[in-house]
Structure 1
Amino acid sequence: MRDAIEEVLLWQTDYTHRNTDGMKRRGVIIRDELRRELEDLVPALKARSGIDDLQVQGKDGMGPKSAVPWTRIFSSSRSTRATDGWYLVFLFSADGGRAYLSLNQGTRRWNGSEFELRPPVELAHRNQWARQLLEKDFVIPDEWVTEIDVDPRNESLGHSYELGNVLAVQYEADAVPPDEQIEGHLLQAAEWIGSIYREADIGLRVPGEAPDVADFEQKLAEVAEPRKSVRAGPRLSASQRKVIEERAVAVTVEYFTSKQLGFAVKDVGATRSYDLHATRDGETLKIEVKGTTSNGSEVILTRNEVDLHQAEYPATALALVRYIELENTPDGSRATGGELILQWPWKPLDAALTAIAFRYTTGL
Structure 2
Amino acid sequence: MYECMAEGSDGIGRKTVSPWTRLYNPEMSPSATQGWYIVIHFSSKGDAFYLTISCGSTIIKSSTIIHVDSDVLKEKIKWAKSCFAKNSRESKSFSDGIELHGNNLSDQFERATAFAKRYPIQRFNESEFWQDLQTLCGMLVTIYEAERLGKSPHAESPEVREHLSLLDESIRPRKSTSQGQGRFLNQAEKKAVELHAMKTVRTALPGHGFTDIHDTSAKKSYDFSACKDGNDWFVEVKGTTSAKADSFLLTANELTLHRQHQGRTVLAIVYDIDLDQSAETPEASGGKLSLSTPWDPEQWDFTPTAYSASRKITE
Question: Normalising TM by the smaller chain, what interval?
Answer: 0.5 to 0.7
Residue in 2 aligned with 1:87? 37
Which residue of 186, 195, 198 maps to 2:138? 195
- CA shift for structure 1 position 249: 1.4
Residue in 1 aligned with 2:195? 246
TM-align CA RMSD: 5.5
- CA shift for structure 1 position 240: 3.3
Residue in 2 aligned with 1:41? none
- CA shift for structure 1 position 121: 5.7
- CA shift for structure 1 position 76: 1.5
Q: 1:130, 1:166 within 8 Å by CA — same for their partners in 2?
A: no
Is 1:267 the equivalent of 2:221? no
Please give the TM-score of this superposition, normalised by the length of structure 2.
0.60
Is 1:124 the equivalent of 2:78? yes
| CA distance in structure 1 between the aligned counterparts of 2:228 and 2:53, rounded to whole angstroms | 53
- CA shift for structure 1 position 187: 4.6
Q: 2:245, 2:269 within 8 Å by CA — same for their partners in 1?
A: no
Q: 1:129, 1:207 within 8 Å by CA — same for their partners in 2?
A: no
Q: 1:75, 1:87 within 8 Å by CA — same for their partners in 2?
A: yes
| CA distance in structure 1 between the aligned counterparts of 2:263 and 2:16, rounded to whole angstroms | 47
Q: Which amino acid aligns with 1:194?
A: C
Is 1:256 the equivalent of 2:205? yes
Q: Deviations over 1:53-83 (max 9, x none)?
A: 41325598x99x9999976442222211445
Three-state SS of the structure 2 residue aligned to 1:250 is: helix
Name the CA shift for 1:254/1:129 in 2 (closer, same or farther; >3 Å). same
Q: Percent identity?
A: 22
Name the CA shift for 1:78/1:190 in 2 (closer, same or farther; >3 Å). farther
Three-state SS of the structure 2 residue aligned to 1:295 is: coil
Query: Gaps spanning 5+ residues in structure 1: where?
Result: 1-49, 109-114
| CA distance in structure 1 between the aligned counterparts of 2:116 and 2:200, rounded to whole angstroms | 42
| CA distance in structure 2 between the aligned counterparts of 1:54 and 1:248, rounded to whole angstroms | 37
- CA shift for structure 1 position 226: 8.4
| CA distance in structure 2 between the aligned counterparts of 1:286 and 1:336, rounded to whole angstroms | 25
Q: 1:243, 1:334 within 8 Å by CA — same for their partners in 2?
A: yes
Q: 2:57, 2:108 within 8 Å by CA — same for their partners in 1?
A: no
Three-state SS of the structure 2 residue aligned to 1:257 is: helix
Three-state SS of the structure 1 residue aligned to 2:134 is: helix
Q: Which amino acid aligns with 2:236?
A: E
Q: Deviations over 1:124-176 (max 9, x none)?
A: 233221475673xx4854xx32666899xx99xx77973x53212469xxxx7
Please give the TM-score of this superposition, normalised by the length of structure 1.
0.54
Name the CA shift for 1:70/1:119 in 2 (closer, same or farther; >3 Å). closer
